[in-house]
Amino acid sequence: MKLIILGAPGSGKGTSATVLREEYNLAHISTGDIFRANIKGNTPLGIEAKSYIDKGLLVPDSLTISMVEDRLSQDDCKAGYILDGFPRTIAQAEALDEMLAKQNTKIDAVLSIVVDDEEIKNRVAGRRVCEKCGASYNVVFKPTKVEGVCDLCGGVVYQREDDKPETVEARLKTYYKNTQPLIDFYNKKGIIVEGDNNKNPEVCIEQIKEGLKAKGLV
């Protein structure tokens, strides 16, 4: 099964993707995580991407699309995957369609995670992530047991530079301008499955699983 998960920054798409990848045994491809690993490793891609990410802007399509094409050609993607954070523009979505058409395949469903704007701002402000394993926390809703230390691996838990309030506004603007039109793009293909993540992530995941069942995918 090949899935895309779409949602505003802070909507909980990463957390939902982590649950679903376990449930359906999928490779989890987060373009944000790949960029962050490159930034940490100081690679040429990381250095270039950082200049956009720190401003809340999208990394140019040319860099992002080839990075994803390379990732999708790896062995662990053969059994299916969940794309988290890609595509983020219509051009990326079209490039993805072309990539998959060459392999005689297509995306089975696009999971749209819905959360109100105000709620998103609160969540992003409190979000903290583990430097080592990427686990996500929130100082209000889901604090670590020991402040600043990951419950799962003991790694350092920090606030992403682009989660600071001045960057969050820019990221939300970028999302509405470039990424939200994708909902329409995929609605026309009839492959959207919606999950409401305003209240409880478990409810959201259940809705998604039901939606996938209704489409005969699981």
Q: By CB under 6 A, name the binding residues for ligand AMP.
A: 9, 31-32, 35, 52-53, 57-59, 64, 85-86, 88, 92, 162, 171
Q: How many helices (H) and strands (E) does the chain have?
A: 9, 8
Told to judge if 21 belongs to the known catalytic residues of this protein, a careful annotator would answer: no
d(C-alpha 161, C-alpha 63), whole Å = 21
For ligand AMP, give the closer residue by CB, 35 or 81. 35
Told to judge if 36 belongs to the known catalytic residues of this protein, a careful annotator would answer: no
Shortest distance in whole angstroms from residue 88 CB to ligand AMP: 4
State which amino acid sits at residue 17. Answer: A
Pairing relation of β-strands 136-138 and 127-130?
Answer: antiparallel
Q: Which tokens is 143 given?
A: 């604090």
Given a contact cutoff of 8 angstroms between Cβ atoms, the answer to whether 45 and 67 are in contact is yes
Told to judge if 123 belongs to the known catalytic residues of this protein, a careful annotator would answer: no
Told to judge if 13 belongs to the known catalytic residues of this protein, a careful annotator would answer: yes
For ligand AMP, give the closer residue by CB, 35 or 186. 35
Told to judge if 160 belongs to the known catalytic residues of this protein, a careful annotator would answer: yes
Catalytic-role residue among 13, 36, 50, 128? 13
Nearest to 7 by CA among 113, 111, 110: 113
Catalytic-role residue among 2, 123, 127, 128? 127
So which residues are the catalytic ones? Answer: 13, 88, 127, 160, 171
